[in-house]
């Protein structure tokens, strides 16, 4: 005789004369129905399909339950939807909406390889963990369970390829923003070091963006200079861009941590412009002494911030190989003098001092918002595995999630009031939609909540994505 389970009911405060009761008999529900729009992004750009091609799968096909594409799809979509840890996937593997996105839905449990996997169409944390820990040089014994190996060079190139694919035509000029940030670690991870500026054990990842588009996310040890390895990254990024866009003008932009002779000399040799912050010193401050006095006089007369700019040639006594153009900003504020300096390869005829500083250099601050999205909202700081190689792969997973969210912002939300929204706002308002999921022989029905307040924006995103032509890659 079959045992009938009694559903527990929960009573809450009455609403007028009505009793308020709840139970868990609502059926198969999801809180992530808006994730279907991420599937539209994949349909148009093939981001995950191209990412999966960057892995070598040595597993025996007849005994393989989850393809590489399904595994990386589950991982990246999970991050987009706010599930940052591998442990989350032991519960998410039952989620029919995430399974639909990953291309693998089977809530009845049919056609599973093992009885214990019935009702769990997706991979669990252990399977996903083996994906991260596979090493190219692993021994035959280690490769017994870890047979999916990532190709780092192909993954690096993929981010630039996606950037190029998401532009219909070549722009006349692009600016690559470079910056480093801290990635705190709380264990004894390989490559961890104490950083004196951040006052913690951390990694020091390097990010390169072009506008809102991510081109490079490189995990680095924290015992080196912030600019270390920059030229190595530019050596492959710039040629890859120029191969597709041979006429494009390329400039790099960064703060004073990247004002290094090696970087500037490489740019000059390879016809790449630069706009870099320059750390102030006594010689530089002496150069703009009269402008600073003028700014102070203006401040006292107007009681408002005053700026005076000076354009001059400058060369360090030891480190620079040549004299270069420097812009000095003599600024006086309520708190006192605030001098700043920028070194650039652009001529004064092309960019006069004030526009170059205020419109070109200061625009680099927007990159900090992109890094914040990566680190805080797409969990790029979840670098908790013991080996640096696996932590780099985790950083790439978060970076792919950013590519998805940015594509949703750039192409889906264009023309709406949310076209400048950050990733966490997009997730909370567009992706987090309650819905009932029903699977039949011919269809997967996603019945979304009638009370969803952003239906108009959802419709606009859907229509915008429908108009995009699938890329050929």
SS3 sequence of 278-324: CCCCHHHHHHCHHHHHHHHHHHHHHCCCEEEEEEEEECCCCCCCCCE
Domain ranges of the chain: 29-148+378-466, 167-375
Q: For the full predicted model, state whether its pTM sits above 0.85.
A: yes
Alpha-carbon distance of 33 to 30, in angstroms, equals 6
Quick check: 3 and 402 in contact, CB under 8 A? no
Whether the CA torsion 234, 236, 237, 240 is positive or negative: it is positive
Q: Which two tokens stand for residue 389?
A: 């190689």
What would the mean pLDDT of 143-153 be, rounded to a whole number?
80
- For residue 3, CA distances in Å to 6, 102, 199 come to 10, 35, 60
| Six-digit token string for 436 | 């009932």
Is it the case that residue 110 has pLDDT exceeding 80?
A: no
Residue 139 scores a pLDDT above 90: no
* Average pLDDT estimate for 12-39: 88
**Per-residue pLDDT reduced to its tens digit, 389-446:** 999 999 999 999 999 999 999 999 999 999 999 999 999 999 999 999 888 878 888 9
Q: Is 406 helix (H, G, I), strand (E, B) or coil?
A: helix
The 10 Å CB-count burial string (b at 16+, else e) for 296-313 is bebbeeeeeebbbbbeee
Give all strands (DSSP E) within 34-141, no chain letters: 55-57
The model's pLDDT over 47-64, given as tens digits with 9 standing for 90+, comes to 999 999 999 888 887 778
> Rounded to an integer, what distance in angstroms lies between the CA atom of residue 434 and that of residue 107?
18
Give the phi and the psi of residue 214 in degrees, each rounded to 5. Answer: -85, 130
- When pLDDT is averaged across residues 61-72 and rounded to a whole number, the result is 87
Give the closest residue to 86 by CA, choosing from 435, 393, 428.
Answer: 393
Q: Which of 59-73, 138-152, 352-366 has the lowest mean pLDDT?
A: 138-152
> Who has greater pLDDT, 125 or 253?
253
Q: Using 50, 70 and 90 to split pLDDT, how confident is the model at 143?
A: low
Is the predicted pLDDT of residue 2 greater than 90, yes or no? no
* pLDDT over 60 (residue 175): yes
Pick the closest to residue 389 from 230, 151, 207, 182 (CA basis).
151
Strand, helix or coil at 44?
A: helix
CA distance 463 to 46: 19
């Amino acid at each position: 005789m079959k045992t009938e389970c009694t559903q527990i009911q929960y009573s809450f405060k009455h609403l007028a004369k009505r009793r308020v009761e709840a139970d868990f008999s609502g059926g198969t529900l999801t809180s992530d129905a808006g994730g279907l729009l991420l599937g539209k992004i994949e349909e148009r750009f093939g981001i995950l399909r191209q990412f999966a091609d960057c892995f070598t799968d040595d597993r025996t096909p007849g005994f393989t339950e989850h393809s590489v594409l399904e595994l990386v799809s589950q991982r990246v979509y999970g991050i987009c939807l706010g599930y940052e840890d591998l442990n989350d996937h032991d519960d998410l593997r039952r989620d029919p909406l995430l399974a639909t996105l990953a291309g693998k839905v089977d809530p009845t449990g049919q056609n599973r390889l093992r009885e214990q996997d019935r009702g769990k169409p997706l991979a669990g944390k252990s399977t996903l963990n083996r994906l991260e820990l596979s090493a190219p040089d692993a021994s035959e014994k280690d490769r017994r369970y870890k047979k999916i190996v990532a190709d780092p060079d192909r993954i690096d190139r993929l981010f630039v390829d996606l950037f190029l694919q998401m532009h219909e035509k070549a722009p006349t000029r692009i600016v690559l923003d470079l910056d480093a940030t801290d990635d705190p670690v709380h264990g004894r991870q390989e490559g961890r070091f104490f950083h004196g500026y951040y006052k913690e054990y951390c990694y020091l990842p390097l990010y390169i963006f072009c506008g809102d588009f991510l081109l490079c996310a490189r995990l680095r040890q924290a015992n080196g200079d912030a600019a270390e390895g920059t030229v190595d990254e530019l050596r492959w990024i710039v040629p890859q861009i120029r191969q597709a866009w041979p006429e494009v003008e390329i400039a790099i932009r960064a703060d004073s941590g990247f004002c290094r002779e090696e970087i500037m000399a490489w740019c000059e040799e390879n016809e790449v412009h630069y706009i870099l912050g320059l750390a102030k010193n006594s010689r530089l401050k002496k150069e703009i002494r009269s402008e600073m006095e003028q700014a102070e006089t203006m401040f006292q007369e107007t009681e408002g911030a005053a700026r005076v700019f000076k354009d001059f040639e400058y060369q360090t006594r030891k480190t620079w190989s040549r004299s270069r153009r420097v812009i000095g900003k003599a600024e006086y504020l309520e708190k006192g003098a605030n001098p700043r300096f920028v070194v650039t390869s652009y001529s004064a005829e092309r960019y006069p001092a004030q526009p170059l500083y205020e419109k070109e250099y200061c625009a680099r601050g927007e990159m900090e918002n992109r890094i914040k999205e990566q680190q805080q909202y797409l969990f790029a700081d979840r670098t908790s595995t013991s080996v640096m190689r696996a932590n780099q792969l985790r950083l790439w997973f978060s970076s792919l999630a950013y590519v998805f969210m940015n594509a949703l912002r750039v192409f889906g939300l264009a023309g709406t009031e949310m076209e400048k929204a950050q990733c966490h706002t997009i997730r909370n308002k567009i992706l987090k939609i309650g819905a009932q999921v029903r699977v039949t022989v011919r269809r997967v029905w996603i019945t979304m909540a009638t009370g969803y307040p952003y239906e108009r924006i959802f419709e606009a995103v859907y229509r915008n994505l429908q108009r995009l032509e699938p890329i050929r890659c």
